[in-house]
Structure 1
Amino acid sequence: MNLSKSVTINEVALRDGLQLEEKILTVAEKKLLFEKLENASILNVEFGSFVHPKAVPQMANSKELFMDIGQKEHVTLISLIPNLKGAQIAAELGVKEVNYVFSISNTHNEQNVRKSTERSLEGFKDIKLYCDLHNIVVDVTLATSFGCPFEGKISEEKVLALTDQLIENEAHIVTFADTTGMANPEQIYRLMSKVKQKYPQQLFGLHLHNTRGMGLANIIAGMQAGINRFDTALGGIGGCPFAPGATGNVCTEDVVHMLEEMGIQTNIQIDPLLEASHLLKQLLGQQLPSYVAKAGKSTRKYPVPNQA
């Protein structure tokens, strides 16, 4: 296989992972999780979002969490923002990277942020100008890039046209999101190959869900197309509160285990990562979708049963 020798993992459990959970974790609990992730050498963490607390109450303490964690020289702390006001909050706090999310599907965007896709694109232009003035990196995530739960299939032409506009306006990173886990490996490979061929110098990422069990296969397909930046969530938790059936981000420890077994560097330590996953399980009080946390690493050996 023609794969990169290393990948970048963006850990999104503290934001996308927790935003569907009934139990709302305290700042202290989230900070403890962050410290476990930091101990596993994760260098990119999406810690929360600056959205209205009535819309996503699980993220209401994001500002306090960032202030409690403090600036980290070796870890990039990323916040999701829904609009220019979110970017202003990020700048006031000193956040260095933001994730602006909107949907290619106009129907989903109306459900998610109560505005049209075109209006969200115009909002990005204002956000980019503001963030440039404050030295903030802007990652634009295009939700429903591979399918919408309301509209069905999304045409590649529509994705490519919107990507063109983002790059014309100098988006630092463009991330394509499989918001409800509708994508398949062939679809991922085909679309990512096209964007990489057209814009070989642009930084692209993938945000994948494992809703239908194709998350790991889709990561490999993305890598074959030249993508080496992926959003993943500890324990495989998460989803979009405005997209039916969007449970299950692709699981961080499953991805790291797979790639490291293949000789592909993530620079993440699997044993401390599994400790973080076990802590998350305790904090949420429920089983997690993670395969590796349940079965252990593939190098695990068992004693031979006593047949006497």
Structure 2
Amino acid sequence: MAPKKIEIIEVGPRDGFQNVPEFIPTDVKLKVIDGLVKSGIKSIQVTSFVSPKAIAQMKDAKDVTTACLERYPDLQLFTLVPNLYGAKAAVECGLKELTYVISVSDTHNEKNVKRTHDQSFEELAQILELYPDIKINLDVATTFGCPFEGDISLERVMAFLQRAYNIGIRSFNLCDTVGLAHPELIKEVVGSALRTYQDCEFQIHIHDTRNMGIINTFTAVECGIDKVQTAIGGLGGCPFAPGASGNTSTEDFVYMVNRMGYDTGVDFDTLLQTAKYLKDNVSSGNYSGHHIFIDKTKVSTQ
């Protein structure tokens, strides 16, 4: 029987890079993206269209996007947009897929995008109406807990999903923004979402704050999620969420599920070379990937 497929959605060039304080040259960003493409990854969040005053790392969003669309016209390239202004800028660059973000937590939403829930949903409805031919994904931030409000109840998550569903969203990304999730919570929330919204697409996005990124992500896969967001080198974190560490490492997760017989379409050795290039060329101490090296006789880590 053919192995089950898992689509690896790489978010390092956005969520990974946004927490690096020193500006990463555009050509370095593009070399990392080129390595990801060569490894076989076909879905990449290449940047975010946010104010450079908020996240200076993304000031070259247009340049990165234009270059990627020219180089990889057949790949699934997308960006994060926090508002209508960002959506317009991304569409003008030629992107056909956008991710909009709203937090389940009111407090985090106001700190992250400077909007109330009502304001965020109103603008999301405007984007959907203005761009009916553009795929709009919704990042559901703080799905599994908030650094300001603590636990988020299942009822609150489901009411949030229903509100987004009612205005036309059919693609959701359940985000563990600060790494508060655990496997039983993943089972409860993901299971309920998949059962309730069977006509929707769901992704999972887990931060590795407590070294539970891989187990939580794989638990979501066992629940039925087949689209997984990870970041090369395990880089990442939310600048507006205290305690948010890096994302689940792409190379670690790919190594595990490839060895388990899942079909990711990603070549681990090529991916590893990209992770090594990243570590050598991007100034950050926030690397959670274990950088596994394989030869013909042994497996070692360093």
If the length of structure 1 is used for normalisation, what is the TM-score?
Answer: 0.92
Aligned to 1:127: 127
Give runs of aligned pairs for residues 87-102 of structure 1, distance below 5 A: 87-102=87-102
SS at match of 2:178: coil
Distance between the aligned counterparts of 2:69 and 2:181, measured in 1? 37
- Asked if structure 2 preserves the Cα contact closer than 8 Å seen for 1:180 and 1:243, the reply is yes
Among 256, 260, 266, the alignment partner of 1:258 is 256
Aligned to 1:49: 48
Distance between the aligned counterparts of 1:106 and 1:68, measured in 2? 36
Aligned to 1:36: 35
Aligned to 1:156: 154
Distance between the aligned counterparts of 1:174 and 1:247, measured in 2? 22
Unmatched tracts of structure 2, length 5 or more = none
SS at match of 2:78: strand
Does structure 1 residue 106 correspond to structure 2 residue 103?
A: no
Distance between the aligned counterparts of 1:290 and 1:297, measured in 2? 15
- Asked if structure 1 preserves the Cα contact closer than 8 Å seen for 2:69 and 2:94, the reply is no
- Asked if structure 2 preserves the Cα contact closer than 8 Å seen for 1:13 and 1:234, the reply is yes
Aligned to 1:267: 265
- Asked if structure 2 preserves the Cα contact closer than 8 Å seen for 1:257 and 1:297, the reply is no
Q: Map Cα deviations across residues 254-289 of structure 1 (whole Å, 9 max, x no partner).
A: 111111011011101101100100010011245521
Task: Classify 1:196/1:297 alpha carbon distance in 2 versus 1 (closer, same or farther; 3 Å).
Answer: farther
Aligned to 2:293: 296
Distance between the aligned counterparts of 1:262 and 1:299, measured in 2? 19
Cα offset for 1:51? Answer: 0.6
- Asked if structure 1 preserves the Cα contact closer than 8 Å seen for 2:20 and 2:283, the reply is no
Aligned to 1:247: 245
If the length of structure 2 is used for normalisation, what is the TM-score?
Answer: 0.94
Among 165, 168, 187, the alignment partner of 1:167 is 165
Give % identity: 36
Q: Over aligned residue pairs, what C-alpha RMSD do you find?
A: 1.6
- Asked if structure 2 preserves the Cα contact closer than 8 Å seen for 1:40 and 1:272, the reply is yes
Distance between the aligned counterparts of 2:128 and 2:299, measured in 1? 54
Distance between the aligned counterparts of 1:86 and 1:298, measured in 2? 45
Task: Classify 1:169/1:263 alpha carbon distance in 2 versus 1 (closer, same or farther; 3 Å).
Answer: same
Does structure 1 residue 207 correspond to structure 2 residue 205?
A: yes
Aligned to 1:279: 277
Q: Map Cα deviations across residues 219-274 of structure 1 (whole Å, 9 max, x no partner).
A: 12111211111110000000100001111100000111111011011101101100
Unmatched tracts of structure 1, length 5 or more = 304-308
Q: Which amino acid aligns with 1:185?
A: P
Distance between the aligned counterparts of 2:118 and 2:41, measured in 1? 35
- Asked if structure 2 preserves the Cα contact closer than 8 Å seen for 1:137 and 1:172, the reply is no
Task: Classify 1:25/1:226 alpha carbon distance in 2 versus 1 (closer, same or farther; 3 Å).
Answer: same
Distance between the aligned counterparts of 2:297 and 2:83, measured in 1? 47
Q: How many corresponding residue pairs?
A: 296
Does structure 1 residue 144 correspond to structure 2 residue 128?
A: no
- Asked if structure 1 preserves the Cα contact closer than 8 Å seen for 2:80 and 2:98, the reply is yes
- Asked if structure 1 preserves the Cα contact closer than 8 Å seen for 2:48 and 2:81, the reply is yes
- Asked if structure 1 preserves the Cα contact closer than 8 Å seen for 2:8 and 2:230, the reply is yes
Q: Map Cα deviations across residues 21-41 of structure 1 (whole Å, 9 max, x no partner).
A: 122111111111111111101
